[in-house]
Chains A and B, each alone.
Chain A
Amino acid sequence: MARQGLFGSSLIKKYWMALTGLFLISFLVVHAAVNAMIYFNDGGVTFNKWAHFMGTNLIIRTMEIVLFLGLILHVVDGIILTRQNRAARPTRYAYSQPNANSKWYSRSMAILGILILLFLIVHLWHFWVPSRHIVGSLEPYGVDAAGQDNLFALMQLVFSNPVPVVIYVLGCFALFWHLLHGFKSAFQSLGLNHRRYNGLIAGVGTAFSIIVPVLFASMPVSMYLGLVK
């Protein structure tokens, strides 16, 4: 195997996985912060203002392209790693006790990743596709009290149905397990392992893995329950 190239060695693939993972984590922070504007409970005026900014600002729109590239790199790298790792053990063990030495979610990053990707396709179809005028637009949902495009109304419409609410909550569960391994793992992959900081990285990683998916999951649930209007 050649040492050069984007996916040259096993370690270069590992660095890409970590860097794109951390980049996607930084996106989650921004996404959760903007979405949390629905909790102003002002009929979506604050949320719609930010949604408009995110959809029109040149820097944000450029970063949106970088974000998709980062996601694609993360997925492609993951597919290559998974295929190679499966090939590295052509004969399975007749009897194995993997839980004796490792966590199921650490071993299931590919499956959790596929679940998140499936959720992401549904999610993009619900909100990103109409709000970026790829198919349809936000016009059918009218304007809010401040006369802005009403993405908030679309959210209310989607989350008035329990099926999307369940799908979104399950997506958040997959994200939770994926982050629980991924956050810590990214630091180890980049060589950042030191007795002084390991506790901090693990603690922040676990807190992040809980807080962010819970925040995301609370949005469709509170909309379905009519707590956010």
Chain B
Amino acid sequence: MKLTLKIWRQAGPDAKGAMVDYPIDGISEDMSFLEMLDVLNDKLIREGQDPVAFDHDCREGICGMCSLYINGRPHGPERHITTCQLHMRKFKDGDTIYVEPWRSAAFPVIKDLAVDRGAFDRIQAAGGFVSVNTMGNLVDANALPVPKAHSDKAFDAAACIGCGACVAACPNGSAMLFVSAKVSQYALLPQGRPEAKERALNMVEQMDAEGFGNCTNIGACSIECPKDISLENIARLNREYLVAEMTKES
């Protein structure tokens, strides 16, 4: 396959970036999108040029590291996949492909296509956990009954890999789908209930402080989510937060 890539190049966080054209040839349609970028970088290095920086890790769709806004959509044109799961057979010979980083005030560009998603880590640290006593007196996992429907929904929410596609897709740059998945996965389980109010309040406070936009129920996040996280989770966070805000103990 012969392609023209239009890639965002930016030397550093404060540098001015621009879209740069890269013609590329000899791409197999069995390659993943990331492997295609590997071929490009190999060529750039051989020519003594600076390779394109992009995030990647597991390359099997479970780590959430690969990002990329490809041809106007997060993770490219296919639904329910990450960029490492996107194959070149989804494109046609001679195509022009736009490759851009996630665009969000809360995800500053580090270099080229790599952005700093530390904001998600700080939101997680603000409440995305269950406090447990680790002094040896652990409770048997099956001692607490959990309704099947709840454990299923908690599991669905826990499928979130924190890739940031929701933020990248949202016209408002909102992180509500991510935060709502993290809040939901604990809110649905008995182990998460004692800290549920504080969790909802603190994670939303951190989300706002990071500079993400406000959710206006557009729904682009859920459509573009590689793990198909439902808008039902955002409604759950709206409920959890409303109750927490009105009934918090202090």
A residues near B, CB below 8 A? Answer: 1, 3, 9-15, 17, 81, 84-85, 87-98, 100-103, 106-107, 109, 181, 184-185, 188-193
Q: How far is the CA of A85 from the CA of B8 in the complex (A)?
A: 23
B236 to chain A, nearest CB (A): 7
Q: Do A13 and B103 touch (CB < 8 A)?
A: no
Q: Do A100 and B72 touch (CB < 8 A)?
A: yes
Count of chain B residues near A, Cβ 8 A? 50
In the complex, chain A residues whose CB is within 8 Å of the CB of B231: 188, 193
A95 to chain B, nearest CB (A): 4
Q: How far is the CA of A188 from the CA of B230 in the complex (A)?
A: 12
Known: A84-B213, A85-B173, A189-B217. A100 touches B201 (CB 8 A): no
Q: Do A85 and B71 touch (CB < 8 A)?
A: no
Q: Do B216 and A1 touch (CB < 8 A)?
A: no
Look across to chain A and name the residue whose beta carbon is closest to the beta carbon of B176. Answer: A10
B144 within 8 A of A: no
How many A-B residue pairs have C-beta atoms within 8 angstroms? Tell me: 140
Look across to chain B and name the residue whose beta carbon is closest to the beta carbon of A94. Answer: B19
Question: Which residues of chain B from 110 to 161 have a CB within 8 Å of any chain A CB?
Answer: none
Select A193's contact among B6, B73, B232, beta carbons within 8 Å. B232
Look across to chain A and name the residue whose beta carbon is closest to the beta carbon of B206. Answer: A1
27 contacts between A and B (CB under 8 A): A1-B205, A3-B205, A9-B205, A10-B212, A11-B204, A11-B241, A11-B242, A14-B216, A81-B216, A88-B105, A88-B173, A89-B171, A89-B213, A94-B8, A95-B98, A97-B71, A98-B72, A101-B223, A102-B218, A102-B223, A106-B216, A181-B217, A185-B217, A189-B217, A193-B231, A193-B232, A193-B234
Q: How far is the CA of A100 from the CA of B79 in the complex (A)?
A: 10
Known: A85-B172, A189-B238, A192-B235. A102 touches B220 (CB 8 A): yes
Question: Which residues of chain B from 90 to 104 have a CB within 8 Å of any chain A CB?
Answer: 98, 100, 103-104
In the complex, chain B residues whose CB is within 8 Å of the CB of A9: 204-205, 208, 241
B96 to chain A, nearest CB (A): 9
Q: How far is the CA of A100 from the CA of B72 in the complex (A)?
A: 9
Q: Do B220 and A89 touch (CB < 8 A)?
A: no
B61 within 8 A of A: no
Select A94's contact among B6, B214, B232, B240, beta carbons within 8 Å. B6
Known: A10-B204, A94-B19, A102-B171. A85 touches B214 (CB 8 A): yes
Other than the given A100-B72, A193-B232, 13 more pairs (CB < 8 A) read A9-B204, A11-B238, A13-B214, A85-B174, A87-B105, A87-B213, A88-B105, A89-B104, A96-B72, A100-B77, A188-B231, A191-B239, A192-B235
B51 to chain A, nearest CB (A): 21
